Amino acid sequence: MSKNVFCLMFCSMCVLAGRAALWGQAMPEPCSRPLVRSVVAEPEDLRSHNGVLKVELTAYNAEEKNGSIRYCFVDQNGQESPTLRANPGDLVILTLKNELKDFGPGSAMTPGHDMNMNAGARKEATFCSGDSMQRDSTNLHFHGLTVPPVCHQDDVLRTSIQPNDPPFEYRFRIPEKQPPGLYWYHPHIHGFTKEQVLGGASGALIVEGIERADTAAAGLPERVLVIRDQDLLNPNAPPSKWEPVVPKMLFDRDGDAANTGTGFGKPAKDLSINFVPVPYPDYPPARIEMRPDEQQLWRVVNASGITYLNLEVLFGHKPQLLGLVAMDGVPLNTVGLARDFVDWQTHLGVPPGARVEFIVKGPPEGEAGLLVTKTVDTGPGGENDPNRALATIVASKDAPEPASELAASPEPFPSSPLPWLGTVAPVRTRRLYFSEKLLEPNNPNSATEFYLTVDGQAPAPFDPKSGVPNIVVKQGTVEDWIIENRSSELHAFHIHQLHFLLLDYRGRPVNEPFLRDIVNVPYYDGKTLEYPSVRLRMDFRDPNTVGDFVYHCHLLEHEDGGMMGMIRVEP
């Protein structure tokens, strides 16, 4: 790596430092955050040009006064968490420099790297060997993209970038058949994913052309909203006086507030919207400005580590209709529905890692709206996700328009040459199940192991060093997977490299003509004769799925704790 290229990775911080020196100011702290009640700013858009998207990101972190750690990705312009925008078929060239510091205690997953090693001294092969995954390691996962699971593309099993490494290059092509919609990027270092994502290391990734798939979105201004969770800013505060009295607050073994079953009480985590914090106990909302009665396409990522969302827009106290057009990056009208199809709902459930894209109408002049998340029942073993506000929606004739607007007269996308997944017969059916176990069965405060087990195998936490796949399939085939939940808390199943079709939920058929990459698996209440389950049709037809990759619960403390498996797709 040349010296000039290496220096480019520091350009944004160099520029900031130079300005600070000229103005007699201290150098800005990395991963700064907006103030409470701030206007929700849009992330910077980085777009492809002439079929190529070039991005330079640097991973930083900084310690808060309360001891929590902020994380962020900063681009070459000094902006945090830019939105990456590319078209199907575009080449993405993304260089990632690791400037993380190890602030926290805890042992590495593997023997540590030499902190005195000169930059560039590690051999290229070691970037992709997984020999060192620890607190200050990082990498990137391009969530939802059907990109090959190999080093320099979308491998998370072995790719590990250390603080003294030179910039690491990701180079991959957005598949021509990738559905147009909302995806996202985040680190995926086993054992420390939750810490980095909870700290804010994430951003949106958009495959352009949703208006070509669903003309209902054509011509609309679009707004990208990344909802993240973080450790409580006011963990010792009592609930607000407007809340009803709830049963005595309990905490789970991770120290998070446990589900009260009431919709109120201390949440497990605070939420933020485009980094504007909305902290417990009063939830002072962020501010979104819209022109009166204007329609916009809102593209929302739940980039939380553990928090489920149940989104609703209120005018007064009345829920408004939200026009869902895509989930998990896939337009709803993929098969057989009208080109301008919209599914109008009053609330949208969004598990951690999932995305929703919906049409929302701004409030009339002189009236304010409110974006809220309603309570989610995560089960007696789950965390508390209560009712809370996220942002006020202010109608103003002077409101600035969003930076991006969809084409008004789009050319339709060609139809997929592959048969619809729901019509393809599976070659086999597999059963998997979520379960949990106290390491000390007689100690309710003992640590927990989390398992995602293939039926017939012994439950065991995921071992990133094993290299032995839990499941082996052939590329070109389709399978049905039945996922059971044998634990008392809600889990969110996710698999890399592909989307799947939800066929049954709790044993009842579901008619969904679209695909997902995350689905909730209901918790076991200890009373029913059968464990709750979902049936999924898994699609291994794309050649880009060939290789080793993972499936896991997208509650990241569960993933880090071992609730994961490895699949090998053979050519």
Residue-range domain boundaries for the chain: 29-209, 215-405, 421-570
* CATH top class, domain 29-209: mainly beta
Taking the alpha carbons of 322, 325, 330, 334 in that order, is the dihedral positive or negative?
positive
β-bridge pairing 429-438 and 478-485: parallel
- Closest-CA residue to 46 (of 203, 178, 197, 170): 203
Per-residue pLDDT of 494-535, as tens digits, reads: 999 999 999 999 999 999 989 999 999 999 999 989 999 999
Q: What whole-number distance in Å separates Cα of residue 60 and Cα of residue 305? A: 18
428-450 burial: b if 16+ Cβ within 10 Å, else e: eebebbbbbeeeeeeeeeeebbb
β partners of residue 224:
299
Taking the alpha carbons of 555, 559, 565, 569 in that order, is the dihedral positive or negative?
positive
Q: What is the pLDDT of residue 569?
A: 98
Q: Is 158 helix (H, G, I), strand (E, B) or coil?
A: coil
Q: Return the DSSP state at 561.
A: T
| Residues of the chain scoring pLDDT < 70 | 1-28, 104-126, 130-131, 253, 444-446
Q: What whole-number distance in Å separates Cα of residue 12 and Cα of residue 26? A: 15
The answer to whether the beta carbons of residues 232 and 307 sit under 8 Å apart is no
H-helix or E-strand spanning residue 560: helix 556-560
CATH T-level topology, domain 421-570 = Immunoglobulin-like (2.60.40)
> Which residues lie closer than 8 Å to 361 by C-beta, 6 or more apart?
293, 294, 295, 320, 321
Region label for 353, one of left (φ > 0), alpha (ψ between -120 and 50) or beta (otherwise): left
Q: What whole-number distance in Å separates Cα of residue 170 and Cα of residue 183? A: 17
Estimate to the nearest angstrom the gap between the alpha carbon of 509 and the chain centroid: 27
Estimate to the nearest angstrom the gap between the alpha carbon of 558 and the chain centroid: 15
Q: What is the pLDDT of residue 6?
A: 38
519-533 burial: b if 16+ Cβ within 10 Å, else e: bbbbbbeeeeeebbb
**pTM exceeds 0.85:** yes
Structure-token pair, residue 191: 């054992």
CATH T-level topology, domain 215-405 = Immunoglobulin-like (2.60.40)
Q: What is the pLDDT of residue 349?
A: 97
The answer to whether the beta carbons of residues 3 and 41 sit under 8 Å apart is no
- Closest-CA residue to 508 (of 482, 535, 481, 531): 535
Domain 215-405 and domain 421-570 have a common topology: yes
95-116 burial: b if 16+ Cβ within 10 Å, else e: bbbbbbebeeeeebbbeebeee
Q: Return the DSSP state at 445.
A: T
